[in-house]
Amino acid sequence: MYSILLVLLASFIGSFGAVFLKAGSGRLKSSSVLTLLLNWRLALGVVFFVTSSFFFIVAIKYGELSVLYPMVSLGYVWTMLWSRIFFGEPFTKAKFIGLGMILLGIVCLGFGTSASH
């Protein structure tokens, strides 16, 4: 259970990484290295992704990779929500179907693990 909570936290934090990368990329005037380095939104996005990776690494130390890794896809659920809130991106039927399939897949993996123990 500890590893599952860490992966959930990692996916939540990682979804903010995507938000800040999007926000930072929208403010780019050029793609020079200096411009990229001075863009605090891009830097914060990278920090969120690195932090997320740290929690994921700790989680997989204690849990089953075959169960935990697919749970990272929960970041897509968070990212869809943040995209709507921060960028006004629409919710669509196709997006909800895709998210439903992700969640169903995670549930199926969970049942597969509990059945084998």
SS3 readout for 90-104: CCCHHHHHHHHHHHH
Least confident span in 22-31, 36-45, 69-78, 107-116: 107-116
Cβ-contact 53, 4 below 8 angstroms: no
The domain locations on the chain are 2-116
User: What pLDDT is attached to residue 109?
Assistant: 74
Cβ-contact 106, 73 below 8 angstroms: yes
- pLDDT of 82 > 90? The answer is yes
- pLDDT of 73 > 80? The answer is yes
State the pLDDT confidence band at 65, using cuts at 50, 70 and 90: confident
Over residues 91-108, the pLDDT tens digits come to 999 999 998 998 888 788
Cβ-contact 74, 11 below 8 angstroms: yes
Model pTM score: 0.79
